Structure 1
Amino acid sequence: MDATTAVRLSLADADHDPLANRTDRALSVVKRGILTGRLRPGQQLIESEIAEMLGMSKTPVREALKTLVGSGLVSLSRYKGAVVRELDSDAAAAVYDLRVLLEPEAVRRTVTTGGDLGAASSALDRAVAAGEAGDEVGMSLANRDFHRSLYLGCGNPLLVATLDGLKDQTALVSVSGWRAAGGWRTEAGEHRAILDAALAGDGDRAAGAVREHITGFVARVLPRLGPTVDPSDQDGTAEPAAG
């Protein structure tokens, strides 16, 4: 996989937080690049290249990469240093298994307690528009917003935080997996079924639609992933490549 020079990173992609320090801004930019698929699984993340692109020293970039290692989006290779994590079939199955146990219940709670669904409807419209325009980045971000807006009102902050982390890791698969899963129209149709059930106030039906959506994606996509990565190449003891 090519190094980060194959993708231009910019502070314009950072979250608009005026109080964010350099480490937070570097973290925001690199994380967004991973979640949108601009930085692909297996892609090497070289501190000096990222720092030059963002106009900062290597220290905040190094700290940002360490944070991403802790969140499971970046792994440390003995030979390459920091790379975007490649989620093999075993790891992906574990992440999706936990998500399918938690997300349907979170959505059911949001619906049954009368949570606001306006953001979900807006996110679905944006995802469809992005799909029609061939905008994979926009579609990826809108789909994440759709799912999050449906479980955000579940009433349990710990459950929300857990699902946020799982969604980050599933992005390593879903960024490219929607093609194998039947394309963006298939995904949009399944999202529409979830939203229709939620708007009807039927929490059980919405939860069931979420469960079918996730398990269907897993059945179509996970068999296409590679076998388990050799742990001797990713032992977690390396340092991010300074470049």
Structure 2
Amino acid sequence: MTFAATGPIPSRTQYVLEAVKRAILTGRLMPGQALVETELAAQFGVSKTPVREALKTLAGTGLVVMSQYKGATVRMVDAQMAHEVYDVRLLLEPEALRRSIARGDGFDEAAGALRRAATADDAAERSLANREFHRALYLPCGNPLLGRMLDEVRDQAALVSAVAWAAQPSWEKEAAEHQEILRLALAGDADGAAGALHAHIAEFVRRAFPEPEGESR
């Protein structure tokens, strides 16, 4: 797992960072695609410096790969990468949800994210709402470090999802699973909600990136 640098980011760098991140996570910039500093600088009307700093930050979050010879490229997604990222989610996210329920969170933000996903006009907005839903489940867990750890893999998980959805859209199935997870959470069923979330995460990566026989975890 990689970690982004901390500290304030200049506004131009932040602008480029958010624009490039959104393009990656919504599939407009594809895995393996070159990210040329001069082209991005011209596109955003900035110098190369904020572009370079934005790409370094994105490399820290695992969305971009920096190479001395190839420059910056969007990170490739394969089964190994997908399973590594989702292993972390499987270990941490259900427990974080269990703790959020124990703390009595009302999950208003999670419910709002589901409504936004259901009424989204395009795949990009639906994807962003999906990310917000999962974050709204784990963030109230009462352990800021646990929340930050899940935030660190959030972008990489979204990249995996973008690649999987492009090949095999599964929005309706996942929306129904989200509704069930939220129902159990609102009912105070911590074990049931955590179990449903675990199954939801595990099934997605298993369906999108099946492992060869004999290599299951």
Query: Which residue of the other structure, out of 169, 172, 176, is the alignment partner of 1:189?
Result: 176
* 1:147 correspondence with 2:134: yes
Q: Which residue of 1 aligns with 2:202?
A: 215
Query: Which residue of the other structure, out of 10, 24, 31, is the alignment partner of 2:21?
Result: 31
- In the alignment, the residues of structure 2 paired with residue 22 and residue 101 of structure 1 have an alpha-carbon distance, to the nearest angstrom, of 36
Q: Which residue of 2 aligns with 1:123?
A: 113
Runs of 4+ with >4 A deviation? 179-182
1:180 deviation in Å? 5.6
* 1:136 correspondence with 2:126: no
Q: Which residue of 1 aligns with 2:88?
A: 98
TM-score computed with the length of structure 1 as normaliser: 0.79
Deviations 1:175-224 (A, max 9, x none): 13136666210010110110000111111111011100001001101128
Query: Which residue of the other structure, out of 37, 42, 62, is the alignment partner of 1:52?
Result: 42
Query: Which residue of the other structure, out of 137, 148, 151, is the alignment partner of 1:164?
Result: 151
8 Å contact from structure 1 (residues 108, 203) kept in 2? yes
Q: Which residue of 2 aligns with 1:14?
A: none
- In the alignment, the residues of structure 1 paired with residue 187 and residue 168 of structure 2 have an alpha-carbon distance, to the nearest angstrom, of 27
Deviations 1:42-83 (A, max 9, x none): 111111111111111001101111111121110124553111
Partner letter of residue 161 of structure 1?
R
- In the alignment, the residues of structure 1 paired with residue 79 and residue 67 of structure 2 have an alpha-carbon distance, to the nearest angstrom, of 19
Partner letter of residue 112 of structure 2?
S
**Runs of 5+ unmatched residues, structure 1:** 1-18, 226-243
* 1:199 correspondence with 2:186: yes
8 Å contact from structure 2 (residues 106, 186) kept in 1? no
Bigger relative CO (Cα 8 Å, ≥ 6 apart): 1
SS at match of 2:178: helix
Q: Which residue of 2 aligns with 1:70?
A: 60
RMSD: 1.9
Q: Which residue of 1 aligns with 2:4?
A: none
8 Å contact from structure 1 (residues 112, 202) kept in 2? no
